[in-house]
Each structure stands twice: as C-alpha cells, then as structure tokens.
Amino acid sequence: MRGWNSELCYGSIGFTNNYRTFFSDQCDSCVDVWFSRNCYGCTNCIGCVNLRNASHCIFNEKYSKEEYEKKMGDLELDSWAGLQKLEKKAKDFSLRKPYREYNGDSFNMNVSGDHIYWSRNTKEGYIVNNAENSKWCQLITVQDTKDCYDYTGWGNGAQLIYECSNVGENAGSSKFSCLCFPDALNLEYCMWNIAGKNNFGCVNLKRKKYCILNKEYSKEEFETLKAQIVADMKKNPQKDDKERVWSYGEFFPLSLCPFPYNHSNAIKFVPKDKAQALKEGYGWADMELPVHKITLQVSLLPDKIKDTEDNILNEVIGCDECKRGYKIVKGELDLLRKMNLPVPHKCPKCRENERFDRMTKPRMYHRQCDKCKTKIYTPYAPQDPRIVYCVQCYQAEFL
C-alpha cells in the first residue's frame, strides 16, 4: 500500500516520500525513522506517534543530537534481539496514543472508509488514492479516478467504471469486466481486452471494436445483437449450483474465478475458513505448499548483519513462524547490509502476513470518539482497545 517516491525503507506500510523508514506505519516525508506511527516530516525519530516536523525524538521525547545518537546506539538497532525488544515497547507506547477515525490524510474532503488519500466525495472506500465522486471502490492506487462504483483496481485515469476489477489506465464507461486496459471504452462482460472499444462478452482481444464473443460486427449489427443478448440475459438468467441468480447487471459468477480462496489475497482482507468459503461458492485448494529441507535453524542465525557471511545464501532457513524453509538471495543480503539490518527470522510470506495484520480490514463500525463522544464511522470496532478520535479532535492535537 503506497510506498511512493521512497528509498531504503523496510517493513513499513502506508508511506510516501520517505528515506530510511523502518517498521513504521502511515509516515510521510520522513528520514531515519524507526517503529513510528502517523508521523509527518520527521527526522531521526524512534518509537514516535503523531508527531509533525520533529527531530531527534525517542517515544515522543525530544533530545539533543548528541543525546539521541548515544541512546540510539544503546538500543542496538543493528541486532535482531534489539529490534524485537524495541518493537514490543513501541507497540505498547502506540496503544496509549490516539488514532484518527480513519487512516488517510488532511487532503480528503467528504470521504468515508479507510486508507483514503487525496480524495473527495468518495464513500466506503478502501485503499483509495485520488478518487472523486466514487463509492465502494478499493485498491485504487494510481491517480486519478472519477465517477466509479463497485470498482477494484487500479485507477490511472479511469472514469465511469461499474462492477469491474483491474480495469484502468484511461479506461471509461465499462461494466462487469476485468483485466481490460489501456484506453478500454464501453466494454461489458469482457476479460483481457487490450485497448478494446464497444465490445461485449469478449476474451483475449487486442485493439478490436464492435465485437460480441470475439466476432466483429458493424456498429448497427453490434447494437442490435447486443440488445437481444441483454434481453435474454434478463429473461433467462444463469443459476449456479447454489441457486443464486446471475442476471444481466451482475459481475461474473464465482465459478469463473481461477484462484482458490486460500491462495488469493482475498483471504488476507476478508478471512474465511474452508467450510465458509465453499458454502459461499469460492474454490479451495487442499494442496500443501512444498516443504524444503531445513539446513539452518533460525536460532543459529547471527544476531547482526556484520557477522553474517555470504555462505548464508546456500542455506535453507527454518521460518520461526510457519516452520517452512526460506532462502536469502544475494540482492536481499546486499540490501540488508546497506541498511545495517539483521537477517529476518521469518519467511517472506509470514512477513507479508504480519504487514497485512497491521492494517485495518475493509469493514466499518459505528462508535464514539473517545474524546468528544460524537458518533464516528470507523474501521476500529467498538470493542477495539485503541484510543480513537474523530477527525476534528485528532487534528486539534497538533494545533
């Protein structure tokens, strides 16, 4: 999520214009920041929360440059043990500081949802950037998006998109389609139409127009036949094995999804077990991922990167979480050395899952602001122990 215009950042989520920002959440325009949350324009900060344009701070306490550098050395940020100790302390400190009612920035106007940035008149969004007059959109990561509804990924000049997935890059006026780009226009029930225009029910076409089921027609023939097909879809809708009706106006049925639910990213955002997924019509794969022979237990990893030799590239390390084997590749080792970070004790998939766990899920709740008691609409459930402020109370913290 985000991570734009940034360099040498590691283990962070929701950041832009950062340099050397480590294990931090929702921090913008920061340099040399560690284990921090919602900090903007900060330099040389560790374990800080809700700071603006601060420098040389540790857990929100200001130090001189000399004091900061001494304390930073005492924290042993170059060691695995030091990082684990600091991470726990930073989490405990963060829970004592308020969260804004949704994750976003101050450049939004009239929005609801979470992880929304630079948007206006956009409701019920999730991970949305630079959207306008849209609703029920998610994973809109590239500007701009206008007048869209029920739309997943990715924007980039998309307009008038309805019930589509991965349709973008100057796409417009398209419905019930997926994986169509760039400059797609007036598509319905299409997949993998590259620069297609005025197509219906087409798959794997490039730069074609007025096609139905991949056959090209004149404009007049296209309009006539399309109207007949739409009328028949409304009169004789498809039914799946669960007796659910898929009429004209609905996206493709779940039976066409090529991915098992447990092997897709959907399970990270909306967790389901096997029974629930199958009951709802999703696929499920029981096949176990390959298990590689472990040659190095994670407990034997060097505590610091300076003590790590190149022969680690030949080892299969046992993940501390899932116990499966993973390898360190040369590019990763070089990067860890450049950032002076120890070799991670978990496999890439478990590290990815941890970052997802730090994000709120696409679900909204009604609760009260913990300061002024006004009603707010937030991704934090009423029973969530975090302190949550409405936008006005949160912004007042910085005045």
For 19-56, the pLDDT digits (tens) are 999 999 999 999 999 999 999 999 999 999 999 999 99
Specify burial of residue 281 (Cβ count, 10 A radius: 0-12, 13-18, 19+): middle
Whether 19 is covered by a domain: the verdict is: yes
Mean pLDDT computed over 70-86: 96
Count of domains for the chain: 1
Domain contains 382 = no
Is 123's pLDDT higher than 90?
yes
Cβ(162)–Cβ(146) below 8 Å: no
pLDDT at 154 over 80: yes
Owning domain of residue 56: 2-97
Q: What amino acid is encoded at 228 in this protein?
A: Q
Domain annotation covers residue 137: no
Token pair 């993973």: residue = 326
Q: Within a domain: residue 63?
A: yes
Residue 44 lies in a domain: yes
What pLDDT sits at residue 399? Answer: 62
Distance CA 139, CA 363 (A): 14
User: Is residue 84 scored above 90 in pLDDT?
Assistant: yes
* Average pLDDT score over residue span 246-275: 92
pLDDT at 397 > cutoff 70: yes
Q: Residue 347: what pLDDT?
A: 96
What is the identity of the amino acid at 195? A
Tell me the pLDDT band of 80, cut-offs 50, 70 and 90: very high
- The verdict on residue 296 lying in a domain is no
Task: Determine the pLDDT at residue 234.
Answer: 96
The pair of three-digit structure tokens given for residue 115, joined into one six-digit string: 């992880």
- Tell me: pLDDT of 223 over 90: yes
Nearest C-alpha neighbor of 290 from the set 358, 353, 249, 347: 347
Percent of the chain with pLDDT over 90: 90
The predicted model scores a pTM of 0.90
CB-based contact 35:22 (threshold 8 Å): yes
HEC sequence for the chain: CEEECCECCECCECEECCEEEECCECCECCEEEECCECCECCEEEECCECCECCEEEECCEECCHHHHHHHHHHHCCCEHHHHHHHHHHHHHHHCCCCEECCCECCCCEEEEEEEEECCEEEEEEEEEECEEEEEEEEEECECCEECCEEEEEEECCEEEEEEEEEEECCCEEEECCEEECCCCEEEECCEEEECCEEEECCEEEECCEEEECCEECCHHHHHHHHHHHHHHHHHCCEECCCCCEECCCCCCCHHHCCCCHHHCCHHHHCCCCHHHHHHCCCCCCCCCCCCCCCCECHHHCCCEHHHCCHHHHHCCEECCCCCCEECCCHHHHHHHHHHCCCCCCCCHHHHHHHHHHHCCCCCCEEEECCCCCCEEEECCCCCCCCCEECHHHHHHCCC
Q: Are 362 and 114 in contact (CB under 8 A)?
A: yes
CA proximity to 169, closest of 179, 203, 24, 116: 179
What average pLDDT score do residues 120-130 get? 96
Q: Say if residues 163 and 148 touch (Cβ distance below 8 Å).
A: no
Please check whether residue 384 lies inside any domain of the structure. Answer: no
Q: Is 76 a domain residue?
A: yes
Measure the CA–CA gap between 41 and 10, rounded to whole angstroms.
18
pLDDT at 105 over 90: no
Beta bridge partners of 123: 135
Unique residue bearing structure tokens 């590290």:
351
Omega cis (within 30) before 136: no
